[in-house]
Structures are given as C-alpha cells and as structure tokens.
Structure 1
Amino acid sequence: MRRPFVIGFIGWSGAGKTTLAVRVTAALVRSGLRCAALKDAHHGFDMDRPGKDSWRYRESGAGEVIVRTDGRWAMLTETPAGRAPIESLLARFSPENDVIVVEGFKHEGDYPKIEVRRTESWIERGGDASALTPLHDDVVAVASDAPELAAPGLPLLPIDDPGAVARFILDLRRGAS
C-alpha cells in the first residue's frame, strides 16, 4: 500500500503558516493531486454543541463518535491522556491521498518541513535572528518575504508565490518516490 507524501509547515504564530499552507494545498489540488490537511491547534476547539446527538454520545463516555451526512463525515476522538501523537493522526488519513499538508507539529514527526518566516512576525519578536524558530534537521526550505530571513544552506521560497512552493514540494515528492 502506498503512503501519501507528507510535507509540514512550521514557524512562529503570525508568520503566515495557515495562509501559505492553504494556498499551497489549493495549488497542489489544481495540479491534479488529492490532498489532505492536518493542523495542530494550540487553543481548544469543539465541533460539537451541547445538546446535539454527537455531544450526547461524547458525554455518555463514548471515546469516539462518527457523524455522517450526505457528502461528509467526521470522527470525534477523546484523548484524555493529552494530545494524540502525530503518527496516529497521519495513519487515519486515506492512503488514496497523494499529499498530506501538516501545519504545526514543529517538534513532532519524521517528514520534511518548510519553515515560514514573515518579516512582520520577526519584527514583533525583536528583529534579531535568535527570535527565529531554531532549525530542525527535517527543515528542507524556508518560505519568506525577506532574503535576510533565509537560512544558510537551505532554499529560500517566495512566501507570496504558492505555485513556486507547490512546485518545490512536487520536486521533493518525486525525489522521495
């Protein structure tokens, strides 16, 4: 069974990870690929509303609840021990996907990552290089709006050109297969 190619987007809050990842996902889909997305949220969220059937099942103690409608389904899984490991989340995606775009999970997962560095969020952190996210071994490129935010030895991708970033990912994917 083939596995989807996984690419991550990491960086400081406010750097533009979501905007870039969404735009790159759209470019990959336009190129004919089937894409999925996984986002790490640092704030709580809930798809349920008190009183709704799925909420009632969760309140009853069900650890997983699937809700199905025409054209969509969703699974809600309780993780009382904390955040689910990224490997278990990636395993839930269909193997029919060509690419899984991951946002966040900076310290997790063994897959290539693109670090997003935007001037505005860099300045908010004092404008010095030490305020940038420390590079991890799995960072394969930096996407930025400023050449001075580049990382030595890594490609600098234009943050405002999702097509160029998508082409970089397609080249990585070809090299991985």
Structure 2
Amino acid sequence: MKVYGVTGWKNNGKTGLMERLVAEFTDRGLTVSTLKHAHHSTDVDQPGTDSHRHRTAGAQEVVLASPNRVAIMQELRGAAEPSLTELLARMRPVDLILIEGYKREAHPKVEVHRKAAGQPLIAPQDPSIRAVATDTPLDLDLPQFDLNDTVEIADFIANDLNLT
C-alpha cells in the first residue's frame, strides 16, 4: 500500500484538503483509506449505547457491525498508543492511505500552510515534506501549490508515488 501524509499546524486546512484529496483520488478510480491522528482524547462511541456499555464494563475491544459499516474500538487501558507502523499494518489493503497528522513520522507529506494562521513552516526542518500547499507564495526550495488546487496537489502525490 502507498501512504502519503497531509501535515501542518492546527487550523491551516489539513482536514479540508484531506477531504478533497479523498474525493479526487476515488473519482480517479483508486481505493483510498485515511488515518487521522488526534492529540486530544476522542471517542466515537456515545454513552448509553450497547457498545459503550460493553467498553465501560471492561471489554478490550468492541466490534460494532451493521449492514453499512464496521467500527472497531480498542481500549488502551494504560497501554502505549500504537505506532503509525502498527496502525497501518491493521488496515485493509487499498491503493492509497492518506494520513492526517503524524508530523514527526518519516512518510512523504504535503504541508498545509495558511499565512493567517501565523505558524512557522515545518518543511525547512523536515525532509519528509515533499511540497507545500499554501495560500501565499513562500521563499522555499520545494514545490508549492495553491491550497485550493486539489487536482494539482493530487497529481503531485500520484506522480511522487508512481500511482496510475
């Protein structure tokens, strides 16, 4: 499986770009999955549901299955957060996995940068960043794309990964 990341500081547009890239690559006929890292505590389950009751009773893993989707919730219960490599190994094979976050990992990435966010660029210190999607021209020796030009960014990623 091929992997590519979208990284950058908070409120720079990572999720919007991810959403557009997933749509663009699936429109091109590729199978795509995503992996999103959250620094904060997150819960996709709701109190009162049967699956939530199973987890709070002590289950290590709860699988919720329906005709439309399957959700697997695993409780770490004090164990270390799985590494990116471990998480990728658990995913079903697809043509492309797009990763949001995981700034410090070594997979290839596009950095999202908005001038108004006022954050410094990560790219100058990170050789895994291959390009920057931005709303302003930057003095940087990397390919730069208009943040809203999803097709051009997708073309760059596809070429970088030799996806057809």
TM-score, length of structure 1 as denominator length: 0.85
Matched, 1:174 2:142: no
Give the letter aligned to residue 68 of structure 2: G
Identify the residue that residue 142 of structure 1 maps to in structure 2. 132
Pick the aligned partner of 1:160 from 140, 144, 148: 148
8 Å CA contact retained: 1:48, 1:55 = yes
| Secondary structure in 2 matching 1:170 | helix
- The 5 A counterparts of 1:1-177 are 4-79=1-76, 80-95=78-93, 97-108=94-105, 110-122=106-118, 125=119, 131-133=120-122, 135-148=125-138, 150-152=139-141, 154-174=142-162
Q: Are the aligned partners of 1:142 and 1:151 in contact in 2 as well (CA < 8 Å)? A: no
Of stretches 28-37 and 46-55 in structure 1, the one that deviates more from structure 2 is: 46-55
Number of aligned residues: 162
Output the aligned Cα RMSD. Answer: 1.7
C-alpha contact (below 8 Å) 1:118/1:146 kept by paired residues = yes
Residue 128 of structure 1 corresponds to which residue in structure 2?
A: none
- Deviation string for 1:96-146 (max 9, x for gaps)? x100010001012x3101111111112xx4xxxxx3225312111111111
Question: TM-score when scaled to structure 2?
Answer: 0.91
SS in 1 for 2:90: coil
What secondary structure does 1:57 align onto? Answer: helix
SS at match of 2:6: strand
- Distance, in Å, in 1 between the alignment partners of 2:140 and 2:58 is 48
- For 2:148, what is the secondary structure of its paired residue? coil
Runs of 4 or more, structure 1, over 3 Å off, are none
Runs of at least 5 residues in structure 1 that lack an aligned partner in the other structure? 126-130
Output the amino acid matched with 2:91: F
Q: Percent identity?
A: 38
Moved more, 31-40 or 55-64: 55-64
SS at 1:147 equivalent: coil
Deviations 1:70-96 (A, max 9, x none): 12100001122243211111112111x
Give the Cα–Cα distance (whole angstroms) in 1 for the partners of residues 144 and 61 of structure 2.
42
Counterpart CA distance in 1 for 2:71 and 2:57 is 18
> Which consecutive residues of structure 2, in runs of 5 or more, have no partner in the other structure?
none
